[in-house]
Structure 1
Amino acid sequence: MSSAIIAASPSEPADQDGPPSHQRRRTVLRVLSALAAGALLSLTFAPYSWWWLAPIALALFASAMHGRRARAGFGLGFLAGMAFFLPLLTWTNEYVGAVPWVVLAALEASFFGLAGIMIALVGRLPAAPVWAAASWVAAEALRGAIPFRGFPLGSVAFGQADGLFLSLASLGGVALVGFAVALCGFGLADLARRVLGARRLTTDGASTAESRTLVKPAILTVVPALAALAALPAVGTDAQEGTVTAALIQGNVPQLGLEFNAQRRAVLDNHADRTRELAADVAAGREPQPDIVIWPENASDIDPFRHADADAVIDSAVRAIDAPTMVGTLETPDQGDIHNTVVHWDPDGGPVDTYRKREIQPFGERIPLRGLVSAVMGVVNPSIRIPDREYQPGDAPGVFAMGSADVGVVTCWEVAFDHRVNDTVLAGATVLAVPSNNAAFGLTAMSEQQLAISQVRAVEHGRAVLVAATSGISAVVSPSGTVVSSTDLFTADALVAEIPLRSTTTLATRLGAGPEWILSALGVAAAGWVVIGGVRRRRLDRRSAVQDESHQS
């Protein structure tokens, strides 16, 4: 890998220099470097979480792009993207087959190709690692927005939940963390190339002059890490609005796989029964009385607003625990919109508030390109039926006043979207709840990957995060991003913990999408500058050629 990082030195501007055998060797090194970059980057995510590999992976990525043209940058970037997304997203083929998995990986890998184009372009500018890191942020930002409202899973920052760079999330959110990691990696690649270039020089004077150029890339490599260390005191964890005792209920599902939806009543009963068990433990003095209780997404797939039996089961469980309870359910009227809903259920007043999930998961809760998808699934897996009606999004952030806690609701898929979490905190949340349902993904790393995102959000916004999942992993995350307690997969359990309530907002919360917009604009502007400069040069060259011909004639 080290040879791949330094394959193209500053004295070698393009692969077409040298004999054909050297050109082929460089091409092979670039391809291997791109593949290694994607594979190593995937290891920074669960189940491995080797966060320190991210700068090395991005150094390999930058090295593969160095000295290449835009077209080659896209191809190499796409290869890196496939090597990254295929292992990262293996959970997507758990029950729907390999074709959707590969298609999704290829779609998302195209954004790595876009990053490759931009990084190949800005590599010609002074301070190239800075512009390259900004370009990386721009490509990730675009991937988080399109198509189908975006797919932000796999953002570099989400692989830093246990890493050195996490503290930067409180200053500039996911974008700043991604920029710092990329800058460190791209600075490392530049430093490696310059070290090789210095060693190749023969005269002492020239070697000394070349060695001086090592200072800038060395600084670019070290500064992001130092900034992350300096940001550690900025991560607030104290209880500004007191504390509450929170209980997370994981009722589990009757069996693995999609079939659990056919056993909706069993899932509801599991959560009600586990809540009553906790109430018995409280009465016996084995557990403290909770102030708030969180049930997961889809804890009741039976609409309690339409079915009296579901209403009765939920109400009896909430009365038993005697605490305001958040219940994940569905609104399924005979006609009209279906909603993935979270209900604030009071032990005395019953349902008092609702939140409708705003970020609806494509190809899970809604079906874009319905005709095409139906045709493909009919061939790939005919047993999967495309539903007639789709979930519709809500239109406002959800913050429930549950006793002394203002609990912000970010349902499952929404936790990956910066703006959904940000506006929930700005709406007054003093603690965040992430009710989730990952039962359909079995024993894969999906739940761990989602928990890592919640850890990043905790630091980004300075809030404790309560992750309640039907089948796991449920967890209590402190405002510092530390997992205080967690459950195992597919195990009925209840977590009880005292959590701090916080009201001040971090700089990242106040800035919102600002850092992402600024960094993305810098990357796009830098790439555009190179493109415009190239167009101007070609025009001047053509004009000079015409003038030369006229003089000769």
Structure 2
Amino acid sequence: MAAVQGNTPTDGLDFNAERRAVLDNHARATAQLAADVRAGRVPQPDLVLWPENASDIDPLLNADAARVISGAVDAVGAPTLVGAVLQGPGEGLTNAGIVWSPGTGPGQRYAKQRPAPFGEYMPYRSFFRLFTDKVDLVSRDFVPGTSTGVMSMGGAKVGDIICFEVLFDDLPREAVLAGADMLVVQTNNATFGYSHEAVQQLAMSRLRAVETGRSVVQISTVGVSAFITPDGVAHQRTGLFTSAVLNGQLPLRSQLTFAVRHGQAVELALCALGGLLVLAAGRDRRRGATRRPALRRRAVAAGR
């Protein structure tokens, strides 16, 4: 497989003003990947992965954006998971991953189930507007999806996780239970600049690999991107604000780990055990506190 980190023209929130440039960067890097395949420098990938926000121009409505994506996908000759912002439903927006196939274009789709509050939607907008009009900087809310994202592409069943969905225990587990034999974390770290957020997110993806027993690809617009094997080891890790293409093979797994089989029950059991140990330690401490004065009284009596 291959994963394309196209980069953005700038870091921070201003990257949103360069939507077409971001799309062109990912299309250009994919076209270069296709040229490398034709030249025999890299093997033909079975599937290609683009990050979240690779196309903030809705390619299902904008013919020019669709043409750019189709040109890149047709050139590389492999189904490509495209991170895109879609118009709707209604007045809202959708943060989506779309499987774009050579010759046929868009097909299977996953809509992000857990949009980020205060970033992708404004909760209790009318209440917070009493304190600041900055709430309206989020002018349109992203609408949450309702279905688990498992999509067949290139012989793999890819479980799609978008950005900070990786921190929720249930979403990767549900994808695996639905048949995913690998996971991809599509993310856009441009707004966080050179902070440690990208590395923290990579740590979450590594945890999910071990927890689910699945290979995980974290692919970002700007980095950090990596191929992660089921043992949690990150391979071909990229730097921040660079253009890069990851190429390699990852194992596909169908077995279910103990954590996937039992889910939250494992966490609840460990929490209950921890609570019992704390209570037991507190009880022993109280016993010790009452025993010491009694021992001192006996010692004083014996001395007399």
TM tier, shorter chain? 0.7 to 0.9
Tell me if structure 1 keeps the 8 A contact 2:6–2:29.
Answer: yes
Residue aligning to 2:144: 393
1:459 & 1:395 partners in 2: Cα distance?
26
Change (3 A) 1:369 1:523: farther
TM-score calculated relative to the size of structure 1: 0.49
Residue 447 (structure 1) aligned with residue 198 (structure 2): yes
Residue 258 (structure 1) aligned with residue 13 (structure 2): yes
Residue 289 (structure 1) aligned with residue 44 (structure 2): yes
Residue 424 (structure 1) aligned with residue 169 (structure 2): no
Q: Which runs of 5+ in 1 are unaligned?
A: 1-245, 531-553
Tell me if structure 1 keeps the 8 A contact 2:187–2:220.
Answer: yes
1:262: how far off? Answer: 1.0
Q: Deviations over 1:49-85 (max 9, x none)?
A: xxxxxxxxxxxxxxxxxxxxxxxxxxxxxxxxxxxxx
Q: How does 1:69-468 map to 2 (within 5 A)?
A: 246-333=1-88, 335-378=90-133, 385-468=136-219
1:318: how far off? Answer: 0.4
1:372: how far off? Answer: 4.4
1:335: how far off? Answer: 3.2
**Equivalent pairs, count:** 282
1:456 & 1:529 partners in 2: Cα distance?
31
Residue aligning to 1:546: none
Matched letter for residue 67 of structure 2: A
Tell me if structure 1 keeps the 8 A contact 2:88–2:94.
Answer: no
Matched letter for residue 226 of structure 2: A
Name the SS of the counterpart of 1:449 in structure 2. Answer: helix
1:490 & 1:451 partners in 2: Cα distance?
15
Choose the corresponding residue for 1:505, options 244, 256, 260.
256
Larger radius of gyration: 1
Name the SS of the counterpart of 1:285 in structure 2. Answer: coil
Tell me if structure 1 keeps the 8 A contact 2:184–2:217.
Answer: yes
* Higher strand content, 1 or 2: 2
Choose the corresponding residue for 2:225, options 439, 459, 474.
474
1:517: how far off? Answer: 2.2
Q: Deviations over 1:183-220 (max 9, x none)?
A: xxxxxxxxxxxxxxxxxxxxxxxxxxxxxxxxxxxxxx
1:288 & 1:464 partners in 2: Cα distance?
20
Residue aligning to 2:291: none
1:515: how far off? Answer: 1.0
Residue aligning to 2:269: 518
Q: Which runs of 5+ in 2 are unaligned?
A: 282-304
Tell me if structure 1 keeps the 8 A contact 2:182–2:215.
Answer: yes
Matched letter for residue 363 of structure 1: F
1:526: how far off? Answer: 7.9
Tell me if structure 2 keeps the 8 A contact 1:374–1:386.
Answer: no
Tell me if structure 1 keeps the 8 A contact 2:2–2:47.
Answer: yes
1:249: how far off? Answer: 0.4
2:107 & 2:220 partners in 1: Cα distance?
22
Q: Deviations over 1:493-541 (max 9, x none)?
A: 10101111111111111011111222334556788999xxxxxxxxxxx
1:389: how far off? Answer: 2.2
Matched letter for residue 404 of structure 1: G
TM-score calculated relative to the size of structure 2: 0.87
1:399 & 1:352 partners in 2: Cα distance?
13
Matched letter for residue 425 of structure 1: V
Name the SS of the counterpart of 2:271 in structure 1. Answer: helix
Tell me if structure 2 keeps the 8 A contact 1:408–1:432.
Answer: yes
Name the SS of the counterpart of 2:139 in structure 1. Answer: coil
1:365: how far off? Answer: 0.8
1:377 & 1:313 partners in 2: Cα distance?
40
1:263: how far off? Answer: 1.0
Change (3 A) 1:399 1:373: same
Q: Deviations over 1:265-297 (max 9, x none)?
A: 110001000100111111111111111100000
Q: Deviations over 1:472-511 (max 9, x none)?
A: 1111011110111111100011010111111111111101
Name the SS of the counterpart of 2:250 in structure 1. Answer: strand
Change (3 A) 1:443 1:271: same
Q: Deviations over 1:438-494 (max 9, x none)?
A: 100000000000000111111111111001100111110111101111111000110
* Higher helix content, 1 or 2: 1
Change (3 A) 1:374 1:497: farther
Residue aligning to 1:211: none
Name the SS of the counterpart of 1:488 in structure 2. Answer: coil
